[in-house]
């Protein structure tokens, strides 16, 4: 097999990084459920912060966010604002309290706070959310392998799934945690080096955030020339305008704070204080990418438009052909040429570029050398793999720990049996995710946004009420979660082409990415109403809620050790 320079460097970085991930997973393999699910609660603070950041910055952050910013302009910042704001909510309102309570999973907290029926509902919600989320990661992995290794789409997704399966099933949370530390290192280096190089190429200054401010006027003028809305124009990128921007941002914030695969990360620290400091370090690590993403989106859009400006069909940039062969770029030309921007419409020519490739293609579009292109591919895979592994662990724990062990065979379930059930659940999840990843309903960032909407409408309200309102009871929580889940998922199915259904118009111009905010409001309203109309929780449960929020006297004396 003859490899060109780009393929060589892509293979080099992928083999190097995959070898590192698998070595870590093998050395971290576990045999006990506490190691498998929460790494024996012994992960150092900074390492846990890096693992949280890697878990957080999925293919949607690495591949999709800057692509959506490039496509939507300033309105693409809803992803940045929603995910970052939601992390602050999680760090302040949920993480320390849930870590103080302890144990393994979010459904387990729900079960102890409400009852076992609500635990099962929560476990089902966790599985649905995680499946939706993991589809985006499979799609992102498929983009990388399809373009940079020349694999067909179905083989690309299968290869990505096999790698995820290996280290997630073998090492559990312990293996995943230390693998994610390595993956964060890879993805942040892969993201920042091209961003700095493109910044130097475009503006002559190696700080992307500074160059970003200097090119906005030029980008606005170029988009106007192409007949597009200005990049900086507010509320022009979404059909629903200001209302939809608000709802999507709120949905992403609430969903972020309710994501089970991120919350479980705070169970792995040694102390409650460690959970708080993990949140600080994670926010720092996340900010390195999130503060750079708008610049990457703007740089890529500028280079893309400049490359297409005034070109004929035979003179389009060289990077287009390989991405077209991979199925992510389409050039529709009626008369065979594009003489100028002004007659694109008249000639019937359309250059259609998938949002999902804009970040990965950025080094090629900018003419950067092959090693940087290969490094970018490795970073994209690191982002997809890190989050997918955490999601599979949530599916595993929900199936084996919250449903099988707690509800089906508590007395007979040995450590070995629980581990087997958990790994079988992961296997089933991988197989189903492969099929879903081959036919995603939208772009990577949008698919992930659907998962956040489901988390917002199910978990966030009952967790907040479970911690801060003693009168919230099991009937209210179950009714609220089911209402939020059915409302949000029903609207998504109604407005998207899913399961063979016909897509319909958005009601009141509310996009499916933003419906989770309304689902959360409904969940709050139903939970509060039903709880007030039915018997309050037992005294023991109310005392448990008090103990979560307020430290006991002996804990106050030893506060320095918490």
Q: Residues 63-104: pLDDT tens digits?
A: 878 888 888 888 888 888 888 888 888 878 887 787 777 665
For residue 253, the model assigns a pLDDT of 94
Cα 547 to the center of its chain, rounded Å: 33
Alpha helix (H) ranges present in 439-514?
444-468, 474-495
Q: How many helices (H) and strands (E) does the chain have?
A: 25, 2
For residue 488, the model assigns a pLDDT of 95
Q: Rounded CA gap, 82 and 67, in Å?
A: 16
Q: Rounded CA gap, 137 and 388, in Å?
A: 6
**442: phi then psi, degrees, rounded to nearest 5:** -165, -170
**269: phi then psi, degrees, rounded to nearest 5:** -80, 165
* Token code pair at residue 247: 């709802």
- Whether residue 163 contacts residue 385, with contact meaning beta carbons closer than 8 Å, is answered with yes
- Whether residue 212 contacts residue 202, with contact meaning beta carbons closer than 8 Å, is answered with no
Cα 366 to the center of its chain, rounded Å: 27
The 8-class DSSP code of residue 352 comes to E
* Token code pair at residue 541: 């449960």
- Whether residue 347 contacts residue 334, with contact meaning beta carbons closer than 8 Å, is answered with yes
Closest of 423, 470, 454 to residue 517, by C-alpha: 454
Q: Rounded CA gap, 382 and 205, in Å?
A: 28
For residue 341, the model assigns a pLDDT of 32
Q: Rounded CA gap, 57 and 287, in Å?
A: 10
For residue 350, the model assigns a pLDDT of 62
User: How much is the pTM?
Assistant: 0.82
Q: What is the pLDDT of residues 122-166, one digit of tens each?
A: 988 988 888 888 877 777 777 777 777 777 767 877 877 777 676
Mind listing the domains of the chain with CATH numbers? 5-301+363-406+430-549 (1.20.1730.10)
* Cα Rg of the chain, angstroms: 24
Look at the alpha carbons of 310, 143, 19, 8 in this order and tell me if their dihedral is positive or negative: negative
- Whether residue 487 contacts residue 289, with contact meaning beta carbons closer than 8 Å, is answered with no
- Helix (H) / strand (E) containing 331: strand 329-332
Cα pseudo-dihedral 507, 509, 515, 518, rounded to 10 = -80
Query: What string of pLDDT tens digits covers the 562 residues of the chain?
Result: 445 777 788 888 988 988 888 787 777 665 555 555 544 455 678 888 888 888 777 777 888 788 888 888 888 888 888 888 888 888 788 877 877 776 657 888 888 899 989 999 998 898 888 888 887 777 777 777 777 777 776 787 787 777 767 656 655 566 677 778 888 899 999 999 999 999 998 888 999 999 999 999 999 988 888 777 888 888 877 777 889 989 999 999 999 888 887 777 766 666 767 777 787 888 889 889 989 999 998 998 888 887 766 555 556 677 777 777 777 777 665 544 433 333 333 334 466 777 778 888 888 888 888 888 888 888 888 887 777 777 777 787 788 777 877 777 665 556 677 777 777 887 887 787 777 767 666 666 678 888 899 999 999 999 999 999 999 999 999 999 999 999 999 999 888 876 556 778 889 889 999 999 999 999 999 999 999 999 999 998 898 888 887 755 444 444 444 4
- For residue 89, give Cα distances in angstroms to 84, 94, 206, 254: 9, 7, 33, 8
**3-class state of residue 330 by DSSP:** strand
Look at the alpha carbons of 385, 60, 62, 443 in this order and tell me if their dihedral is positive or negative: positive
Q: Rounded CA gap, 222 and 155, in Å?
A: 38
Q: Rounded CA gap, 538 and 535, in Å?
A: 9
**423 C-beta neighbours (distance < 10 Å), count:** 18
Look at the alpha carbons of 402, 408, 413, 419 in this order and tell me if their dihedral is positive or negative: negative
Q: Which residues, 6 or more positions from 517, have their beta carbon under 8 angstroms from its beta carbon?
A: 247, 248, 250, 251, 254, 453, 456
Region of residue 172 (left: phi > 0; alpha: psi -120 to 50; beta: else):
left
Angle between helices 272-290 and 77-89 (to 10 degrees): 170
**3-class state of residue 350 by DSSP:** strand
The 8-class DSSP code of residue 30 comes to -
**3-class state of residue 440 by DSSP:** coil
* Token code pair at residue 192: 């920042």
For residue 314, the model assigns a pLDDT of 58
For residue 441, the model assigns a pLDDT of 64
Cα 478 to the center of its chain, rounded Å: 26
- Whether residue 338 contacts residue 328, with contact meaning beta carbons closer than 8 Å, is answered with no
- For residue 362, give Cα distances in angstroms to 4, 195, 206, 331, 476: 19, 9, 16, 19, 49
């Amino acid at each position: 097999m003859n490899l060109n320079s780009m393929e060589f460097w892509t293979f080099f970085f992928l083999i190097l990084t995959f070898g590192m991930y698998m070595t870590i997973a093998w050395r971290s393999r576990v045999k006990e459920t506490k190691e498998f699910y929460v790494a024996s609660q012994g992960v150092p603070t900074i390492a846990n912060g890096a693992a949280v950041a890697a878990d957080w910055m999925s293919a949607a952050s690495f591949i999709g966010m800057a692509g959506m910013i490039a496509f939507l302009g300033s309105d693409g910042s809803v992803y940045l604002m929603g995910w970052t704001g939601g992390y602050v909510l999680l760090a302040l309102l949920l993480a320390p309290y849930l870590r103080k309570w302890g144990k393994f999973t979010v459904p387990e907290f729900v079960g102890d706070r409400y009852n076992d029926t609500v635990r099962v509902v929560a476990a089902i919600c966790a599985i649905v959310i995680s499946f939706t989320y993991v589809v985006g990661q499979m799609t992102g992995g498929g983009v990388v392998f399809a373009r940079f290794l020349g694999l067909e789409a179905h083989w690309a997704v299968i290869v990505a799934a096999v790698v995820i399966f290996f280290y997630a099933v073998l090492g559990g949370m312990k293996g995943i945690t230390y693998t994610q530390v390595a993956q964060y290192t890879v993805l942040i280096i892969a993201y920042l080096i091209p961003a700095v190089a493109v910044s130097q190429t475009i503006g002559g200054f190696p700080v992307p955030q500074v160059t970003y401010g200097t090119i906005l006027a030029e980008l606005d003028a170029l988009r106007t020339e192409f007949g597009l809305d200005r990049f900086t124009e507010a509320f022009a990128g979404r059909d629903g305008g200001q209302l939809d921007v608000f709802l999507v941002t709120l949905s992403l914030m609430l969903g972020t704070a309710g994501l089970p695969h991120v919350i479980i990360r705070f169970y792995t620290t040694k102390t409650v204080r460690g959970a708080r400091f993990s949140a600080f370090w994670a926010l720092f690590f996340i900010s390195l990418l999130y503060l750079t993403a708008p610049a990457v989106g703007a740089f890529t859009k500028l280079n893309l438009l400049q490359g297409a400006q005034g070109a004929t069909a035979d003179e389009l940039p060289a990077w287009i052909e390989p991405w077209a062969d991979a199925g992510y770029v389409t050039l529709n030309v009626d008369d065979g040429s594009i003489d100028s921007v002004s007659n694109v419409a008249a000639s019937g020519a359309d250059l259609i570029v998938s949002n999902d490739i804009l970040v990965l293609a950025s080094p090629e579009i900018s003419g950067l050398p092959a090693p940087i292109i290969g490094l970018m591919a490795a970073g994209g895979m690191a982002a997809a793999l890190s989050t997918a592994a955490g999601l599979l662990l949530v599916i595993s724990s929900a199936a084996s720990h919250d449903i099988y062990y707690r509800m089906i065979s508590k007395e007979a379930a040995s450590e070995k049996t629980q581990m087997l059930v958990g790994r079988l659940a992961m296997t089933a999840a991988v197989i189903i995710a492969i099929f879903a990843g081959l036919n995603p309903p939208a772009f990577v960032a949008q698919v992930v946004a659907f998962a956040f909407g489901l988390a917002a409408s199910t978990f966030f309200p009952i967790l907040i009420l479970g911690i801060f309102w003693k009168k919230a009871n099991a009937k209210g929580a179950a009714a609220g979660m089911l209402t939020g889940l059915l409302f949000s998922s029903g609207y998504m199915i109604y407005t998207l082409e899913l399961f063979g259904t016909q897509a319909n118009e958005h009601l009141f111009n509310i996009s499916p990415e933003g419906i989770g905010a309304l689902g959360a409001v409904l969940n709050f309203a139903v939970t509060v109403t039903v709880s007030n109309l039915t018997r309050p929780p037992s005294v023991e449960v109310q005392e448990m809620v008090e103990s979560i929020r307020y430290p006991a006297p002996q804990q106050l004396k030893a506060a320095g050790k918490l």
